[in-house]
Amino acid sequence: MRILFYTPPSDTEAWLADLRRALPEADVREWKPGDTAPADFAVVWRPPHEMLAGRSGLRAVFNLGAGVDAILAIEREQPGTLPAGVPLVRLEDTGMAPQMAEYVVHAVLRYLRRFDEYAQLQAEHRWHVLEPHARESFTVGVLGLGVLGAHVAQAVASFGLPVRGYSRSARHIDGIETYAGPAQFDAFLDSVKVLVNLLPHTPDTHDVLNANTFAKLAEGAYLINVARGAHLVERDLLDALKSGRIAAATLDVFREEPMPADHPFWREPRITITPHSSALTLRTESVAQVAQKIVALTRGETISGIVDLARGY
Q: List, by residue number, the catalytic residues.
A: 228, 276
Q: Which residues contact 271 (CB under 8 A, 6 or more apart)?
A: 237, 241, 248, 249, 250, 251, 265
Name the amino acid, one letter, at 175: G
> Phi, psi (5° rounding) for residue 49?
-55, -45
